[in-house]
A and B are shown apart, each in its own frame.
Chain A
Amino acid sequence: MIIINNLHAKIDGKSILNGINLTVKPGELHVIMGPNGAGKSTFANVLSGKPGYEITEGSVQYLGKDLLAMSPEVRACEGLFLSFQYPIAIPGVNNMYFLKAAMNAIRKYRGDSELDAMDFLKVIREKLKEVNLDDSFIKRPVNEGFSGGEKKRNEILQMIVLQPTLSILDETDSGLDIDALRTVAEGINNFRNSDRSFILITHYQRMLDYLEPDFIHILLDGKIVKSGDKSLALDLEERGYSWVKDQSSQLPKA
């Protein structure tokens, strides 16, 4: 699915990513954990092509193609989806219109016919139920006046409508109450299958109670310093990041 090799990135001259190596296979769910400032969001932004970052070293192969050479919209059309940590409001553009434009842009890129409003409405009504949102939701302007929970559910709605192959979820669990957390997790679980992969970025272990991750990675100072299975998240919860830091400082420098 995606092979990330020795990825280095800078913003405003400051090095944030210092050699990330990660391979995600189809169907896998990888979790990236790490303290504030470790480079988690930068990692998500760089993969999705957000402007402003400078890639200084490394490569990313996505479905056999050079991901870093693609524009953000091409990455999206190729099936890479980012669930934003802070989804931005777009006043005056209703959610339905926005999603339809997105879906049709992607369909057009893939050579499929564009959906008309009626067909699209059928698709979206089905999906709304999955994330526990009612019809009125899609008539509201994109993210405008949405509560924190609504914004995150809207991201998941977009994900299940656009059907990406690789979903990067940047702190999709933060700011959610326990019910919304469960809804979001269910949305992800229902969407999982053997072809789709996920990279979930989070601070906390709590979302993992509802999901079945294949791997946990700990990001520290722009590098993955430790990888393991689900139990690593529990260890981390118990012992904190300082435990990892101490361990990693004892590692011989590569």
Chain B
Amino acid sequence: MTDNLKIIERITQQEYKFGFVTDIEQDTFPPGLDEDVVRRLSQIKQEPDWLLLWRLKAYRHWKSLTEPDWAKVMYSPIDYQSISYYSAPKKKKELESLDEVDPELLDTYNKLGIPLEEQKLLSGVAVDAIFDSVSVATTFKDELAKAGIIFCSFSEAVKVHPELIKKYLGSVVPITDNYFAALNSAVFSDGSFCYIPKGVRSPMELSTYFRINASNTGQFERTLIVADEGSYVSYLEGCTAPMRDENQLHAAVVELVALDDAEIKYSTVQNWYPGDKEGKGGIYNFVTKRGACRGRNSKISWTQVETGSAITWKYPSVLLQGDHSIGEFYSVALTNNYQQADTGTKMIHIGNDTRSTIISKGISAGKGQQTYRGAVKVMKNAAHARNYSQCDSILIGDKCGAHTFPYIDVRNPSAQVEHEATTSSIGEDQLFYCNQRGISAENAVSMIVNGFCKDVFNELPMEFAVEAQKLMEVSLEGSVG
């Protein structure tokens, strides 16, 4: 192995920074899943009957399904009976303000750089923090309330805004949608809910921060965002988890609804624990994310930076129902060491004059395997639909892989669909070329990778873009040799 390959290895083998465990007392269900667990969960959360029935229906449906195996990922079978389906930090009473949050928890979020404390509120991002199964804090609530925006934990929304939850829960991702969505519907424990009323532009970025802490637990959160007519919201999502030897399951569902002239911009920086250099441990990230552009001229934009998880199975999609609606998907996914990702999007054109854009950038290093899987579907009655897809992959080193599976299904002759794909590698020759111009191998890799991801980073909100760029550098450290 030559020196440059060694540098590639070194750069891609940096340690995970967020792998600490918070020592906190927790209420955790014993492992196992049956109807009783679903009932107890619903009971703890003091849910209305309709929701319990909805969960049970989902559970029964889930039981009738088998785990999908079409994704290009390999893992030993998940034992759903060995997972605990609920874990929450112990608390004595309802929290009134951040001051009452366990200092251990706040400390955890501080370590992660999440602005929960008052002094950090100046940074202007409203945060809902989810710790294992429950939401621990939501900031900026009052200020948002003045604008009429509802931003709270899912549990609270079920209590305070049942009519909205009843109307929209499962309306984009039905319980029967897929195996992991059905499981989530049965056992989801918390999440974030957001409603932007007619004509309101959210005065700040809304953000949810997810943290898995307890061992042997799954995290099943649910996010629902409804943007009413003419409204706009930009939503950020971040996630980390401790380093543990066993694999942990994360099966979330995110539903977005945009009504007439509404716009939702949803950005994710996913940095769940990816497992160690030998591929031990790490999060199994099986997530269903979908947005419905229900109204005319509505727009939903997904931007994701996926650097974590041992396995990622995720296809943020848009149903373009309203005429003139727009769907966008911008993705950077990085797989290093033994990480595997099968990710992409679905753009379903239903209304007339609908447009979609897909920009996917995959980076594989170490022994990482990465698949882009994307579907563009133009229905029979969708006149003048347009899609542009661009899927680029870059390989660092010679032991990783990149795969592209585009599915295109066009049933209306007026559609225009374009697909472009490239695969390249950061070769030793490129590194040597940079070295010969005085640029170190590590800077060269980060320059090449950032150049490669530029189109997607440009779509992220400013502070997130900087974070994403740093994250890429960290995730790649040890990857160049």
Query: Which residue of the partner chain A has the closest CB to B422?
Result: A91
B443–A105 touching, CB < 8 Å: yes
List B residues 385-423 near A (Cβ within 8 Å): 422
Alpha-carbon gap, A98 to B427, bound state (A) = 17
B451–A73 touching, CB < 8 Å: no
Q: B452 contacts which of A52, A81, A92 (Cβ < 8 Å)?
A: A92
B433–A93 touching, CB < 8 Å: no
List B residues 426-477 near A (Cβ within 8 Å): 427-430, 432-441, 443, 447-448, 451-452, 454
Question: Which of chain B's residues have a CB closer than 8 A to the CB of A94?
Answer: 451
List A residues 84-140 near B (Cβ within 8 Å): 84, 87-88, 90-94, 97-99, 101-103, 105-106, 109
Query: Which residue of the partner chain A has the closest CB to B437?
Result: A102
Question: Which of chain B's residues have a CB closer than 8 A to the CB of A88?
Answer: 427, 429-430, 433
A26 contacts B by Cβ under 8 Å: no
B2 contacts A by Cβ under 8 Å: yes
The total of interchain contacts (Cβ-Cβ below 8 angstroms) comes to 80
Alpha-carbon gap, A102 to B438, bound state (A) = 5
CB-defined interface of A46-69 with B at 8 Å, one 1/0 digit per residue? 001111100000000000000000
Q: B438 contacts which of A52, A91, A141, A162 (Cβ < 8 Å)?
A: A162
Question: Which of chain A's residues have a CB closer than 8 A to the CB of B452?
Answer: 91-92
Query: Which residue of the partner chain A has the closest CB to B3?
Result: A51
Q: A93 contacts which of B428, B436, B440, B447 (Cβ < 8 Å)?
A: B447
Query: Which residue of the partner chain B has the closest CB to A74?
Result: B438
A71 CB to nearest chain B CB (Å)? 7
A158 contacts B by Cβ under 8 Å: yes
Alpha-carbon gap, A71 to B438, bound state (A) = 10
B430–A90 touching, CB < 8 Å: yes
A146 CB to nearest chain B CB (Å)? 13
A108 CB to nearest chain B CB (Å)? 9
A76 contacts B by Cβ under 8 Å: yes
Alpha-carbon gap, A141 to B433, bound state (A) = 14
**Known contacts A51-B2, A52-B2, A98-B447; is-contact A87 B433 (Cβ 8 Å):** yes
A31 contacts B by Cβ under 8 Å: no
B448–A93 touching, CB < 8 Å: yes
Question: Which of chain B's residues have a CB closer than 8 A to the CB of A218?
Answer: none
B298 contacts A by Cβ under 8 Å: no
A143 CB to nearest chain B CB (Å)? 9
Question: Which of chain A's residues have a CB closer than 8 A to the CB of B438?
Answer: 73, 76-77, 102-103, 105-106, 109, 162
Query: Which residue of the partner chain A has the closest CB to B453?
Result: A92
B479 contacts A by Cβ under 8 Å: no
B437–A162 touching, CB < 8 Å: yes
**Known contacts A52-B2, A98-B447; is-contact A90 B437 (Cβ 8 Å):** no
Complex A-B: 12 CB contacts under 8 Å: A48-B436, A49-B435, A72-B436, A73-B435, A73-B438, A90-B434, A90-B451, A92-B452, A93-B448, A97-B447, A102-B438, A105-B440
A residues near B, CB below 8 A?
48-52, 71-73, 75-77, 81-82, 84, 87-88, 90-94, 97-99, 101-103, 105-106, 109, 141, 158, 162
Excluding A48-B436, A51-B3, A101-B439, 14 further A-B contacts by CB distance (< 8 Å) are: A49-B436, A50-B432, A51-B432, A73-B436, A76-B437, A87-B433, A90-B448, A92-B448, A92-B452, A92-B454, A98-B434, A105-B437, A106-B438, A162-B437
